[in-house]
Amino acid sequence: MKIAVVILNWNGKQLLEQFMPSVLAYSPGADIYVADNASTDDSVRFLRETYPQVQIVQNKVNGGFAKGYNDALKQVDADIFCLLNSDIEVTEGWLGPVMQVFRERPEVAIIQPKILDYKQKDHFEYAGAAGGYIDMLGYPFCRGRVFQTLERDNGQYNDTREIFWATGACMFIRREVFEGLKGFDEDYFAHQEEIDLCWRARNAEHTVLYVGQSHIYHVGGATLHNMNPKKTFLNFRNSLFSITKNAPSRLVFPLIFIRLSLDGIAGIRFIFQLKFGHCLAILRAHVSYYYHLKNTIKKREKGNKKGHYYVIKSIVWAYYIANVRRYPQLVKD
């Protein structure tokens, strides 16, 4: 079973200098690719001169995470794609447990390892932690991370178990599944496109797993910081996209109505916090959502839209009203 580790890069020479050595040292048997999203720095020259063993795919435009990977993976020959952020330090033996699961369980389509914080290595990292879930309204959270609360890693999530979504920071996916799902939705550009992809995979009866015996360290925010209004825009809009495309038919319109209302409350909260750029970002997200609505509805695929896609009705209520901060307090496994 052939695996390719594919790192998407945009003006990330410093990150490649810092993290490429661990990828090359600890990924025996894997082909290493860098998919360059039309960088304007000297990333490509640096790679060619310093790491000639790394294969480079040069995309013609910066189409974001979604289009960047869609374009690049067409040129990658492998049975398993590992989509890896450029700001990740991998560890010795990280590939073994994942590949073993792929070999032994053909129903498994997507896998995520344990994601720990590079800056605080005994804590989980925001983007993925120990596997992702959503609540009934489509709000994402993780084992090990609920909103801004991050748990310490005490080995409590060293298991292998089914999850709802795997983070795009480090996602393993079978080539035939990625191609069968027609890749990422390029309207997302970036952020939450992996949730949409995993939701579509689950609706197509594929299995998404977390494998805690494999772990990596993620810097996080190296491309777009949490406090950037552009990230607010993408997260709010793209979450609405995912619900519209993938939720059971009987729930779509009630869910969208509730989400739009809650987005309005979030916008008012941003105003009181004097974060006017974020309030404007939510307004822009709604305008963009309506602009794309007709096309988004057309993307709803026929087939099984699983009714039980969520593990909790409202993570917002649990976190902000009931003061629940940790996954084990939310869900009784």
Helix (H, G, I), strand (E, B) or coil at 311: coil
Mean pLDDT, the chain, whole residue set:
94
Q: Are 79 and 172 in contact (CB under 8 A)?
A: no
Q: How does pLDDT run across 262-308, given as a tens digit for each residue?
A: 999 999 999 999 999 999 999 999 999 999 999 999 999 876 566 67
Q: What is the pLDDT of residue 25?
A: 98
Does position 70 have pLDDT exceeding 50, yes or no? yes
| Average pLDDT rounded to a whole number, residues 315-320 | 94
Q: How does pLDDT run across 46-65, given as a tens digit for each residue?
A: 999 999 999 999 999 999 99
Side-chain half-sphere exposure of 203, counting CA atoms within 13 A: 22
Burial letters for 152-166: b for 16+ Cβ neighbours within 10 Å, e otherwise? ebeeebeebeebbbb
The DSSP bridge partners found for residue 6 are 33, 83
Q: What is the pLDDT of residue 331?
A: 86
CA 304 to CA 299: how far, in whole Å?
A: 14
CA 131 to CA 144: how far, in whole Å?
A: 8
Q: What is the pLDDT confidence band of residue 222, given thresholds at 50, 70 and 90?
A: very low
Does position 260 have pLDDT exceeding 50, yes or no? yes
Q: What is the pLDDT confidence band of residue 332, given thresholds at 50, 70 and 90?
A: confident
Does position 223 have pLDDT exceeding 60, yes or no? no
**Where in the chain is CATH 3.90.550.10?**
3-114+159-212
Does position 188 have pLDDT exceeding 60, yes or no? yes
Q: In 3D, which of 118, 135, 81 has the Cα closest to residue 127?
A: 118
CA 312 to CA 308: how far, in whole Å?
A: 10
Architecture of domain 3-114+159-212: Alpha-Beta Complex (3.90)
Q: How does pLDDT run across 8-29, given as a tens digit for each residue?
A: 999 999 999 999 999 999 999 9
Q: How does pLDDT run across 113-160, given as a tens digit for each residue?
A: 999 999 999 999 999 999 999 999 999 999 999 998 999 999 999 999
Q: Is the pTM of this model over 0.85?
A: yes
